[in-house]
Structure 1
Amino acid sequence: MNATSLSGPTLEALGATLWRELAGAAQDRAHEWRQPVLATVCPEFGPQARTVVLREVDVASRTLLLYTDARSPKVAQLQADPRAQLLCWSRALGWQLRLGGRILVSTEGLDVTSRWALLRHTRAAQDYLSPQRPGQPIAVTEVDAPAEGLAETERADSSRAERAHFAVLRLRVERMDWLSLDPQGHRRAVFDARDAGLSGRWCVP
């Protein structure tokens, strides 16, 4: 990471640095914010958290993009309640960043087709082409080869499978909560991003 020195930063400078780090994380596989934790709400079991991959960041619109299997439980949870939070942690910087907002799930349209066109010929595409949904129990006979080929009908109609299983999650950030864990003294700032501007305030860590 190439974070700017933040000794006595202004809130404006800090906010710009955080967005710069997020944008870098979407491009750099080694960035510690590349794989944040996504928390959603399940009506039956309450809060649910899992690690995801940050794919794109649009700083101007304060939007973050993630990919997922449309059959995964988090999609149903987000369709029922779009409120979500991403948790980013950097050991190198000693920074925790929580990003709260609402997630729009897209399974059709340009958001999906344009990104699938770039992904479909990579190894990652197999995550979305399995005939089995995420979390489905694996039979004992399948343990040694749980990822054996797709059903022939799905192979014959790959476009149907692609549209059915690949989804784009678009998080519009409404609130950011930054915490710096520093031996010289912890610092915390909260930003409200719901308005046209980005208002922030210093808080007790």
Structure 2
Amino acid sequence: MADALTYGLGPDWEPGEDGLPFRRAARVVVLDDDDRLLLVRGHDAGEVTRSWWFTVGGGLDAGEDVRDGATREVFEETGLVVRPADLVGPVLTRSAVFDFARVTCRQDEEFFLARVPSGHDFSHDGWTDLERDVLDEMRWWDVDELAAAVAEGTVVYPETLPELVRALLDGWDGTTPHLDESSVLGPST
């Protein structure tokens, strides 16, 4: 199989044992003081009509601690400063196989919870060239509004995100469920 860079996926993707490009990722469920969830909307580089909403986060650098990677990703994608000690969890782990840029990829993710003050202006200074190409918008979602949008067909990953966030609004219960979306073949970033 060709190196993942050949497909424009980036240096954090390596050929996995099954031959698919693979990476470990850290994702953050960012909630503000008003219990709104920060999500990013992106589209598929290989099929621009396909778009979806997802949490802040991304691939870990070689040898990077998952909490350090999570806080780095939050800063790079939003400009928000969150320290590793501010992260709660992991509140969820997820395995996913998805198509992106006409390549089938595999990703293992750890999700953390972070609380931030309301009213933050976003910075995209840390975006990579690929992110600048495929990330379309960032916004705060009320959880009920998100659940209604999902019920009407809005695509969100992980698919159970509204339920996950509802369960976290009053605090984390200390469990780390695992979500296997390896047969979904939907996008992620």
- Same fold? TM cut 0.5: no
Q: More strand by proportion, 1 or 2? A: 2
**So what's the TM-score if we normalise by structure 1?**
0.27
Q: More helix by proportion, 1 or 2? A: 1
**So what's the TM-score if we normalise by structure 2?**
0.28
Quick check: which has more Rg, 1 or 2? 1
Q: Which has the higher contact order (CA 8 A, sep 6+)?
A: 2
